[in-house]
Amino acid sequence: MNVELRHLRALAAIGDEGTITGAAAFLHVTQSALSRTLVQLESRLGVRLVERSTRHLALTEAGQRLWERAHQLLNQLDDALAEAKSGPRPLRVGFAWATLGASTVPLLQGWRDAHPDIPARVHRRDDPEAALRRAEVDVAFLRTPPPDEPGFHALPLLRERRLAAVAESDPLAGAETLRLADLADRPVARCVTAATTTAGLWPRERRPHTFDVANVDEWLTVIATGEAVGVTSEGTRHSHPYPGIRYIPVSDVDPVTVHLVWPRVPTHSATDAFRAHVQRSVRAAAPTP
């Protein structure tokens, strides 16, 4: 089909930027040149990749699939070229928030001591699963359900209890434990980039009002000011202590499972060694029964 790298870079930029104008500026080409490249790619594949009008642009289903694979291929090529020039790159570890909570620093220090020639670098991503698909990270820690598809391995590591996050001025702040019913009459903030909480945790007849905020900083702020409460997992208390917020265990809800996820075709040669190291570290950190 004679598809070239410039075609893949064009589609990747269009999908990322959402407009021909933004993608052309990113690639430092003219809009007309980028449009011609897109038309050429669609012609060579025989499929429409982008639905476009004077006011609207969106990837088709086929375009969405190729956009993800284009990122993956381009990132892998960039990695290969960089390794040829400078040697092996660091292992990239993706996460949305909290990584592994209190176990994060010991785990990374232990990896550095055992593998001083292969640094592990953590990368916060709003959607670490998408970052895995695009080969932007090599492994990821997920507290949301892992992808149920053949392209990924998912290893459950540990279960974190859920905590309520409330303002220190809130009457609930003095409690040692809470139940979901204690929060049902309060607005519940959800962080869209890292949410493990939905209204479905509550019985249908006692579901609270929920609203979304854009990131962890906004989530912490609306809770600290008393505008809302939150429900999160144990790792958040360690990674995001915040003035004016108290974290309290919630006794009547299932814990959150933390998974390590990586592609079945690894994007880094140290992936399996890192997986084994994580397993050993988590077992060593587990409390004695």
Angle at CA 280, nearest 5°, toward 141 and 264?
50
Task: Write the single-letter amino acid at 52.
Answer: R
Q: Structurally, what CATH architecture does the domain formed by 88-159+257-285 represent? A: 3-Layer(aba) Sandwich (3.40)
Torsion sign (Cα): 82, 86, 88, 93: negative
28: left (phi over 0), alpha (psi -120 to 50) or beta: left
Per-residue confidence in pLDDT tens, the chain, 289 aa: 688 999 999 998 998 888 888 899 999 999 999 999 999 999 999 999 999 876 678 999 999 989 988 888 888 888 788 777 777 789 999 999 888 988 999 999 999 999 999 999 999 998 898 889 888 899 999 998 888 888 899 999 999 999 999 999 999 999 999 999 999 999 999 998 777 888 999 999 999 999 999 989 999 999 999 999 999 999 999 999 999 999 999 999 999 999 999 999 888 989 999 999 999 999 988 764 4
Nearest-angstrom CA–CA distance, 276 and 13: 36
Sign of the Cα pseudo-torsion (259, 264, 267, 273, in order): positive
Residue with the two structure tokens 């980028």: 34
Domain ranges in the chain are: 5-84, 88-159+257-285, 162-254
Tokens linked to 17: 């930027």
The class that CATH gives domain 5-84 is: mainly alpha
Closest CA to 98 of 213, 262, 207, 238: 238
Residue 228 to residue 222: CA distance in whole angstroms: 6
Question: Candidates 3.40.50.150, 3.30.230.10, 3.40.190.10, 3.40.50.720; correct CATH number of 162-254?
Answer: 3.40.190.10
- Helix, strand, coil percentages (3-state) for the chain, rounded to 5, are 45, 20, 35
User: Is there a common fold for 5-84 and 162-254?
Assistant: no
SS3 25: helix
Rounded distance, CA 72 to CA 138, Å?
Answer: 11
